[in-house]
């Protein structure tokens, strides 16, 4: 039986709580490539959570993930200490990023998206590209992995919604600043909230700049069987877990993706309300 032990824990932000965990998973670390993801389960009572890999070390046999506290299961994972372990750590899943020397590339990470864009950016730099990175957050106190991104980038642009660090505004404002300098961009990778990726794709479409996004819809099994992660890409139905998670941002139907995310969120809220009501009745 595999023991997926947490060997390192690092808190990246406190509110919301964002935690980096380095986990022993030799079989996954031996095969994982940038752009792929894992599905983790803390114990038998926990839900399955898909997480894009932030880093990996083949020699140590470890996988690094970053998770934000957005609900019960993620809060439980974020409370894990060094020495604790996951029951399940499945991967690598999904299609790896296509890494090649394209010239000048821009890697954009918004919010928690900085974590999954990091290994892609590093691989692109190692392939010989000039790497310009744009990372953003609502404010400076929840900006993550700035030092790591700076270390691998030829140029790093920071954007915060409130202007507490770098460009005041969104990552698209940072990208606009780069383009205004006359920089010729050969390709862009953008990872973050769906609304952010849609904004980047809408911005680059008229400019004709190849834009890759990493879609993170609701997933259940991670093998394409459940259909929960289906997307419309270029008028074709795709499944993010087996066909992605990366897709041409100019072909993704973001409006449909956002409607589906909203639907599942509403279902979760209704289930929570129903559960709370049932518990209340039982206590009477």
Binding residues are 66-68, 226, 229, 241
List the binding residues for FAD. 66-68
Transcribe 162-194 into DSSP letters: TSSSSEES-HHHHHHHHHHTT---SEEEEES-H
Assess whether the previous peptide bond of 139 is cis (omega < 30° from 0): no
> In the chain, which ranges are E strands?
4-14, 17-24, 37-41, 49-52, 55-57, 62-68, 85-86, 88-93, 104-110, 130-137, 155-160, 167-168, 187-191, 210-214, 230-233, 236-239, 246-248
Tokens describing residue 222:
């991670």
Q: Specify whether the CB–CB gap between 143 and 135 falls below 8 A.
A: yes
What count of Cα atoms within 13 Å lies in the side-chain half-sphere of residue 42?
16
List the binding residues for [2Fe-2S] cluster. 226, 229, 241
């Amino acid at each position: 039986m595999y023991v997926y032990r947490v060997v390192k824990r690092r808190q990246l932000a406190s509110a919301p709580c964002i935690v980096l965990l380095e986990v022993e998973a030799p079989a996954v670390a031996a095969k994982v490539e940038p752009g792929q993801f894992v599905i983790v389960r803390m114990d038998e009572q926990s839900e399955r959570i898909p997480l894009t890999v932030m880093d990996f070390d083949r020699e140590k046999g470890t996988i690094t993930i970053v998770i934000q506290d957005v609900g019960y299961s993620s809060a439980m994972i974020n409370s894990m200490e060094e020495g604790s372990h996951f029951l399940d750590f499945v991967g690598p899943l999904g299609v790896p990023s296509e890494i090649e020397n394209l010239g000048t590339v821009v890697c954009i990470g918004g919010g928690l998206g900085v974590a999954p864009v990091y290994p892609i950016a590093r691989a692109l730099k190692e392939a010989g590209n000039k790497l310009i990175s744009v990372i953003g957050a609502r404010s400076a106190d929840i900006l993550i992995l700035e030092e790591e991104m700076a270390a691998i980038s030829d140029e790093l642009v920071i954007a915060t919604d409130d202007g507490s660090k770098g460009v005041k505004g969104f990552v698209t404002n940072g990208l606009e600043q780069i383009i205004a300098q006359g920089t010729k961009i050969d390709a862009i990778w953008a990872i973050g909230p769906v609304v952010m990726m849609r904004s980047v794709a809408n911005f680059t479409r008229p400019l004709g700049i190849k834009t890759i996004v990493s879609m993170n819809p609701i997933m259940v099994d991670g093998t394409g069987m459940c259909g929960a992660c289906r997307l419309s890409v270029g008028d074709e139905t795709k499944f993010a877990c087996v066909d992605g998670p990366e897709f041409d941002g100019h072909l993704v139907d973001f409006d449909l993706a956002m409607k589906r995310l909203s639907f599942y969120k509403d279902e979760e809220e209704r289930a929570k309300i129903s559960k709370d009501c049932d518990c209340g009745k039982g206590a009477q």
